[in-house]
Amino acid sequence: MKPTLVLVGRPNVGKSTLFNRLTKTRDAIVADIPGLTRDRHYGHGKVGDKPYLVVDTGGFEPVVKEGIMHEMARQTLQAVDEADVILFMVDVRTGCTAQDKIIADRLRQSGRPVFLVVNKAEGMRREVVTAEFHELALGDPLAISASHGEGVHELVELALESF
C-alpha cells in the first residue's frame, strides 16, 4: 500500500497548488476564490522510488446551511481518517488565524502524524516565516512555497521518511 498524504487547511492557503506540484498535474482547481475546490481530489506521486497517494481536501461548498466552519470540520475529520500523514497547511501572508487554531486542535487530538507546513514563504527568511506558528503546538513549522516549488521536495522526503 502506498502511503497517503492528506492536505488539510482552510481555504486559500495553497493546498491545490501543492497537490498539483506533488502529482505533477493540474487536476486540482487553483483559484483566488476560497472554497472553489469541491470534495476531494486524489493523485499519485513519487519521490525517489517511493510512490505515494495525495489527497486534496477543502471542498467547502460555499452555500452550506450549517455554515463553513461546520463543513470544514467535517471534511477535515473525514480526510484525517484516510491519512497516513497529514500535511496541515497555513499561510504566512495571512498569519496564524482562529480557524488555524481550531484545525490544529482537531489534528492534535487525531493522534496521526502531522507536519505543519507554512506556505507562500518564497523569498522570506525561515525564522521569520515559522515564528508565529509555533503556538499551534504541532512541532517545527516547515517553510515552503508551493507555487515556486521551494522546500517541497524536502517536505515530502521528511513526511515519507518512515515509509
State the residues that interact with ligand GDP by CB under 6 A. Answer: 9, 11-17, 30-32, 34, 37, 58, 119-120, 122, 145-148
10 is in an annotated binding site: yes
Distance CA 2, CA 113 (A): 16
Q: What end-to-end distance do the CA atoms of the chain give, in Å?
A: 10
Tell the smallest beta-carbon distance from residue 88 to Mg ion (Å).
14
Tell the smallest beta-carbon distance from residue 107 to ligand GDP (Å).
16
Burial of 49 (0-12, 13-18, 19+ CB in 10 A): exposed
> By C-beta, is 50 or 88 nearer to ligand GDP?
88
**Which region holds residue 93: left if phi is over 0, alpha if psi is between -120 and 50, else beta?**
alpha
> By C-beta, is 25 or 147 nearer to ligand GDP?
147
CA 36 distance to own-chain centroid: 16
79 is in an annotated binding site: no
Q: Pick the binder of Mg ion from 10, 13, 14, 16 (CB under 5 A).
A: 16
Distance CA 59, CA 124 (A): 29
Residue located via cell numbers 492557503: 13
Cell of 57: 481536501
Contact flags string 23-62 toward Mg ion, x per CB under 5 A: --------------x--------------------x----
- Which of ligand GDP, Mg ion, none does 14 bind, CB closer than 5 to 8 A by kind? ligand GDP
In this structure, are residues 58 and 9 in contact, taking their beta carbons and an 8 Å threshold? yes
Asked whether position 119 contacts Mg ion by CB under 5 A, the answer is no
- Interface ranges with Mg ion (CB under 5 A): 15-16, 37, 58
